[in-house]
Structure 1
């Protein structure tokens, strides 16, 4: 459960100003470029300072220790960044258990067996270097690590931005396999992908936000034109910009 009240945050200047919303279910977040979608994601995960209130599962975010926060909410960035050129797929996924590992102890055999099972399911080779993976494989790797971390909320920031149609479809299928009790928040520019997910939808705009509990209300040509300032084809099954 995420609840935000009068949230303001940014970097050198305020990007988001006095936003308020709450959602206890899966959520898709859309909006034009530069509106603050990634800024919102990082604030929700405690990666940016903010003003206002963020409640995660009814508790103020600032009261979570770093370990508690890691067990509660996971942030998956648009692109995997590894500072170790030699880290393997198995080693990377295993780090998802770090918040659950007692201090000064190693990973358990159960942890390693769970990693092996996740990698078999995702088709990733344990011994491959993370830096040698394709963009699609890296997204599957991030999902595997998030599953092992077992947080109650997983936040995906532009997960399909660098994926070809096949890998985007693979990611969609992997997302659908996540446990139902895990709250998924997906930030995306891909209207087709957002519509396929069927999640309640948060649209960020210059004046604030609009929350659509019923996503069908968002995906009408009239509403899409109002949101994006460009015409959409009224007869298209999926959102389609009218380029002519």
Structure 2
């Protein structure tokens, strides 16, 4: 589809700011409220921040790498942007919704595009019970932590924790332990994307645990529920032949 009004966003690093100035002069830079596409100039962190910030707009976001890793970004070029946008393929993602209740009774909700993770706060290992759709599947996991990752987030923290890489259209979630002590050989599970995961922290006062949904951290949690938020569509645009599903597939053959 043709795009007429572009809103550019960029990180503060010099490479991104130089690109912002060049592209704004060449293509114009419209306010997000008036734009029909956002072009993000930076790295994966900026892409996640931009999707969070404009989550309620349902506006497509096209990233160009002016950062370091750039797994979620397209290659940076300044001379054929309109043509690339018109040919780009759109991937629809759904975030995870985290509902956390703390030891003191306070409750917090947050959305995550990559993963929701539980992490021990002190030198003592965490003890966590895991339920899926109301049924206890693991009475006690002794660990540094545990996470639930989306397909888009399966190549991020989840992969570093030895979790599985999930194709973008697989309709699955990864449940992955972080440095599991008992059961020592448990490597996690693949769950249907509609599953509701509930973590209950055992001895929460003695063994404090924090819950993190992307950039939102809640400390001293007692229970955390994670489920896919299907009512929110996040639209990411990628160049032909370099879509997110292609990148995730290719990542499985890197050695």
**TM bracket (short chain):** under 0.3
**Structure 2 length normalisation: TM-score?**
0.25
CA radius of gyration, larger in = 2
**Structure 1 length normalisation: TM-score?**
0.26
- More strand by proportion, 1 or 2? 2
- More helix by proportion, 1 or 2? 1
